[in-house]
A and B are shown apart, each in its own frame.
Chain A
């Protein structure tokens, strides 16, 4: 029973010692009186008392078992009490189930996305590195292989630095070509990730050299689908495009990097003759920091490395910087801030639910005053009564949290369904952390809901109420109850304000003129490989032939390709010289997009002057948008002028502006159109996005298009077939989700606050029946009575509303970056919230107020 001793108060031990020494002192006196020396008497006394440590131990056991008995007793009493009023208990359990469940659900997402490290050993040491043009002329963040090797060799803070890029390829061993995604990886890739094949081996040194033996490692998923999990797959071969590749390893199922779509990994040698060019960039770079090294230290180290490279290779390295970001940060993006927003919302909701329940319990304990005073008179201590009242709440909270776990489990399934569009959503799961968190929530809830009612219900002054028989002794002022209602209204208004601002932003976003028409546009890709780019002429011919074929299909109005889909963010900025002139005070910066002929026709972006991209156009033909023309040409026509890359990239020649198109929100519907240069180029990569404008429902054309393309390109697969609108929706999933959820939470909050207002007012009206009866008997008007109750409810609602607006205003800065087209002080939102809250508060108060006024005075007075 050592636990008791540790947790028990020091006073307990001390009191025990004092009690025993008193006994021994008394015994000693007896022996002294019998004529013994004091020393002898003390010895005898100790002897007679027996082992005092043993006695103390027995007493401790009494206390410990009494503690357990008390707990069990309280639990039994609580269950008995709760069973006596099942509807009351069920309401509380249900409220807590929703409150705690929503809280646990959002917490499970936070745990998986924000708190847990990436699912690699020491995942927090992984860093994503990219290069950037310090002059801001070029937003390309890929890294040249030779520079990657320099970084890896010269740094002192990384265990290893590696890189990868993705390629789409066709697996051609079956009757139909199957598109698969491969990650081409630089040496040391698996060392950086800290994960190695579960079966077979990693790539050898030879396989990592240019011209070395071929090898691939399969993902667990692809191994299951292609080889049905046969361990003999290692050592067999698969056919990719027109070559055979030996399979040397299978990765574990948990390894999904760079993404869950990766089917296989293949070496990308760093010593190819074409890789000495420092301007050729294509690697995404990842590094593993040495144990204990922090991100800022690594960044400082890399800055030194790049400075050295800048001296050695003034062009281009002197004008490059290194951006380092934790891989986790890169993976989760803005999702954490959305999740924290939702978490604050559900926590506020839980607080509202708690104060609601606290008010219910207050009313309840007021009715139990008699019971409490009886217990006092039977010698119970306040502590034991408070403990018993808290145990009742704890049982409710525990049952509520168990039901809440079920709510959380359902929500977790919902989160997982979003794994296509929300980062790490697939990792969200119901695990022991969540269960523990939920139980902790039950404990916290117990105190939030139960402490105030328990303390108020057991005030010593109540002990006297046993003597007074009056049933109307209960205080009718109840400031605590009104305070709780005020809190509920305050928090509900805060939530409502947040939801209102997000809703208004969404509404504003919906009104935006995109500048292009996404309806009835089908998008897809056709497999191709970077390997084809050795013969660019051939790639361009193939893609143009595909576009031409698409245009001949009946029902297709226009077809084109684009490197990036319109409306999907791809910040890619470049600096230009106009007609060879560079004016440092007036830099020509523009987004750029690579599009084929037919693009503006497909997207219904209007031509304002000049002509669109032609089938015969090359990258030296460009079209600019209206913003570009008006900002950099000040009303003069840009058509015919030339543009050159200011950074001097030799692959972009002297481009001639052929036309002007209207502004379109290419970079996302929530982003103002920036000055944009469209390069006419139908083959920006071997697998560009095809955009097809159809007469009707785009998906209805999917099968026809697949068939037609199979006829002309039997060795290639068509994939990612979906309407453009779907892409746009996916891009705003997070935004829509957080707006909808916050609205749902706010609506729940308002409902709860109204129930609180209604309940409190009804309760008070009941307590004051006698007073009302007397007043009515003395000739008060019913309208006056109703008005009195109504104004009491409204006063609290107004005070809560004012406090809520202030709190909401203070918190609205957390919404920065999530708002569109309005400020955090949007008057319409504020006015709407106030109207809504006052409206529903009036309704909630009116009912009990009218009921109170409809009293029959004679009946009430007789009853009381």
Chain B
């Protein structure tokens, strides 16, 4: 599939994606960007210029916790994991997203 332009990513959606990906287990920044690309089948390509500020913002909000560790190929990397607060936040955002997308879908269907 053709990748979406980065501006197409809804404001706030990136946070949700990151939280969801991190929820699967501790992961470093590069891994997050790869994972989002793979799962979305290359549709969503996160720019590093947005990814890293977002990671730091989530860490500052105590939603993500970070530790330094070794990556698969033995390099030093910063691993992010979800805090209890982050888990709550993820649940809340997932719910919001579900309501939002079903609402949008509803409008699109009705308009047809």
Binding site for B on A (CB under 8 A): 15, 18-20, 22-23, 25-27, 29, 49-51, 54-55, 58-59, 61-63, 66, 69-70, 377-380, 384
- Shortest beta-carbon distance from B85 to chain A in Å: 5
Structural contact, A58 and B52, CB atoms closer than 8 A = yes
Structural contact, A378 and B71, CB atoms closer than 8 A = no
Docked pose: A59 CA to B65 CA in angstroms? 16
Structural contact, B53 and A379, CB atoms closer than 8 A = no
Known: A62-B60, A378-B83. A22 touches B53 (CB 8 A): no
Which residues of chain A are near B73, meaning CB under 8 Å?
26, 29
Known: A19-B78, A66-B60. A379 touches B47 (CB 8 A): no
Which residues of chain B are near A59, meaning CB under 8 Å?
52-53, 56
Q: Among the listed A15, A54, A69, which residue makes an inter-chain contact with B78, where contact means beta carbons less than 8 Å apart?
A: A15
Known: A22-B76, A26-B75. A378 touches B60 (CB 8 A): no
Structural contact, B83 and A23, CB atoms closer than 8 A = no
Q: Among the listed B56, B57, B85, which residue makes an inter-chain contact with A379, where contact means beta carbons less than 8 Å apart?
A: B85
Structural contact, A22 and B30, CB atoms closer than 8 A = yes
Which of B53, B61, B68 has most chain A Cβ within 10 Å?
A: B53
Residue of A nearest to B60 (CB): A66
Docked pose: A62 CA to B62 CA in angstroms? 13
Tell me if B9 counts as interface (CB < 8 A to partner A): no
The 4 lowest CB-CB distance pairs between A and B, nearest first, are A379-B83, A66-B60, A26-B30, A58-B53
Structural contact, A20 and B77, CB atoms closer than 8 A = no
- Shortest beta-carbon distance from B53 to chain A in Å: 4
Seed contacts A23-B33, A70-B60, A378-B83; 12 additional CB < 8 Å A-B pairs: A22-B71, A22-B75, A54-B49, A55-B53, A62-B53, A66-B57, A66-B61, A69-B60, A379-B62, A379-B83, A380-B62, A384-B62
Docked pose: A378 CA to B85 CA in angstroms? 5
Residue of B nearest to A48 (CB): B48
Structural contact, A62 and B57, CB atoms closer than 8 A = yes
Docked pose: A379 CA to B84 CA in angstroms? 7
Structural contact, B52 and A377, CB atoms closer than 8 A = no
Q: Which B residues between 62 and 86 are near A, CB-CB below 8 angstroms?
A: 62, 65, 68, 71, 73, 75-78, 83-86
Tell me if B26 counts as interface (CB < 8 A to partner A): no
Which residues of chain A are near B29, meaning CB under 8 Å?
19, 22-23
Tell me if B20 counts as interface (CB < 8 A to partner A): no
Known: A62-B60, A377-B84, A378-B85. A22 touches B49 (CB 8 A): no
- Shortest beta-carbon distance from B68 to chain A in Å: 8
Docked pose: A72 CA to B50 CA in angstroms? 25
Docked pose: A50 CA to B46 CA in angstroms? 12
Structural contact, B48 and A49, CB atoms closer than 8 A = yes
Structural contact, B52 and A19, CB atoms closer than 8 A = yes
Residue of B nearest to A22 (CB): B77
Which residues of chain B are near A20, meaning CB under 8 Å?
48, 52
Residue of A nearest to B54 (CB): A62
Which residues of chain B are near A54, meaning CB under 8 Å?
49
- Shortest beta-carbon distance from B52 to chain A in Å: 6
> Is chain A's interface secondary structure helix, strand, loop, or mixed overall?
helix
Which of B52, B73, B76, B78 has most chain A Cβ within 10 Å?
A: B52
- Shortest beta-carbon distance from A60 to chain B in Å: 9
Docked pose: A377 CA to B62 CA in angstroms? 11
Structural contact, A58 and B78, CB atoms closer than 8 A = no
Docked pose: A859 CA to B73 CA in angstroms? 67
- Shortest beta-carbon distance from A336 to chain B in Å: 51
Known: A18-B78, A27-B30, A54-B49. A378 touches B56 (CB 8 A): no
Q: Which B residues between 16 and 70 are near A, CB-CB below 8 angstroms?
A: 28-30, 33, 47-49, 52-53, 56-57, 60-62, 65, 68
Known: A22-B75, A26-B71, A27-B30. A58 touches B49 (CB 8 A): yes
Q: Among the listed A25, A55, A69, which residue makes an inter-chain contact with B48, where contact means beta carbons less than 8 Å apart?
A: A55
Docked pose: A190 CA to B15 CA in angstroms? 74
Which residues of chain B are near A70, meaning CB under 8 Å?
60
Which residues of chain B are near A380, meaning CB under 8 Å?
62
Query: How many residues on the B side are at the interface (Cβ–Cβ under 8 A)?
Result: 26
Docked pose: A378 CA to B62 CA in angstroms? 8
Which residues of chain B are near A27, meaning CB under 8 Å?
30
- Shortest beta-carbon distance from A308 to chain B in Å: 77
Docked pose: A70 CA to B28 CA in angstroms? 25
Structural contact, A22 and B52, CB atoms closer than 8 A = no
Docked pose: A445 CA to B19 CA in angstroms? 42
- Shortest beta-carbon distance from B30 to chain A in Å: 4
Structural contact, B52 and A55, CB atoms closer than 8 A = yes
- Shortest beta-carbon distance from A34 to chain B in Å: 15
Which residues of chain B are near A23, meaning CB under 8 Å?
29-30, 33, 48
Docked pose: A700 CA to B10 CA in angstroms? 93
Residue of B nearest to A67 (CB): B60
Which residues of chain A are near B60, meaning CB under 8 Å?
62-63, 66, 69-70
- Shortest beta-carbon distance from A303 to chain B in Å: 69
Docked pose: A438 CA to B5 CA in angstroms? 56
Which residues of chain A are near B48, meaning CB under 8 Å?
20, 23, 49-50, 55
Structural contact, B30 and A378, CB atoms closer than 8 A = no
Docked pose: A99 CA to B77 CA in angstroms? 52
Which residues of chain A are near B30, meaning CB under 8 Å?
22-23, 26-27
Residue of B nearest to A61 (CB): B53
Residue of B nearest to A70 (CB): B60
Structural contact, B47 and A50, CB atoms closer than 8 A = yes
Which residues of chain B are near A69, meaning CB under 8 Å?
60
- 18 of the cross-chain contacts (CB-CB < 8 Å) are A19-B52, A22-B30, A22-B71, A22-B77, A23-B33, A25-B75, A49-B48, A55-B48, A55-B52, A58-B49, A59-B52, A62-B56, A66-B61, A69-B60, A379-B62, A379-B83, A379-B84, A380-B62
Docked pose: A209 CA to B109 CA in angstroms? 110
Docked pose: A84 CA to B47 CA in angstroms? 46
Structural contact, A55 and B49, CB atoms closer than 8 A = yes
Structural contact, A63 and B56, CB atoms closer than 8 A = yes
Docked pose: A55 CA to B51 CA in angstroms? 9
Which of B30, B47, B73 has most chain A Cβ within 10 Å?
A: B30
- Shortest beta-carbon distance from B47 to chain A in Å: 7
- Shortest beta-carbon distance from B28 to chain A in Å: 7
- Shortest beta-carbon distance from A70 to chain B in Å: 8
Known: A55-B48, A378-B62. A22 touches B83 (CB 8 A): no
Docked pose: A50 CA to B61 CA in angstroms? 26
Docked pose: A18 CA to B69 CA in angstroms? 12
Residue of A nearest to B65 (CB): A379
- Shortest beta-carbon distance from B62 to chain A in Å: 5
- Shortest beta-carbon distance from A637 to chain B in Å: 97
Which residues of chain A are near B84, meaning CB under 8 Å?
377-379
Docked pose: A510 CA to B60 CA in angstroms? 69
- Shortest beta-carbon distance from A377 to chain B in Å: 6
Which residues of chain A are near B86, meaning CB under 8 Å?
379
- Shortest beta-carbon distance from B3 to chain A in Å: 13
Docked pose: A63 CA to B68 CA in angstroms? 19
Known: A22-B30, A22-B76, A66-B57. A50 touches B49 (CB 8 A): yes
Docked pose: A206 CA to B53 CA in angstroms? 81
Docked pose: A23 CA to B68 CA in angstroms? 14
Docked pose: A384 CA to B85 CA in angstroms? 15
Which residues of chain A are near B56, meaning CB under 8 Å?
59, 62-63
- Shortest beta-carbon distance from A583 to chain B in Å: 91
Docked pose: A55 CA to B50 CA in angstroms? 8
Residue of A nearest to B64 (CB): A379
Docked pose: A379 CA to B88 CA in angstroms? 12
Which residues of chain B are near A378, meaning CB under 8 Å?
62, 83-85
- Shortest beta-carbon distance from A90 to chain B in Å: 33
Docked pose: A26 CA to B71 CA in angstroms? 10
Docked pose: A113 CA to B60 CA in angstroms? 50
Docked pose: A63 CA to B59 CA in angstroms? 10
Which residues of chain B are near A26, meaning CB under 8 Å?
30, 71, 73, 75
Docked pose: A384 CA to B62 CA in angstroms? 10
Docked pose: A29 CA to B75 CA in angstroms? 11
Docked pose: A25 CA to B30 CA in angstroms? 10
Residue of A nearest to B78 (CB): A19
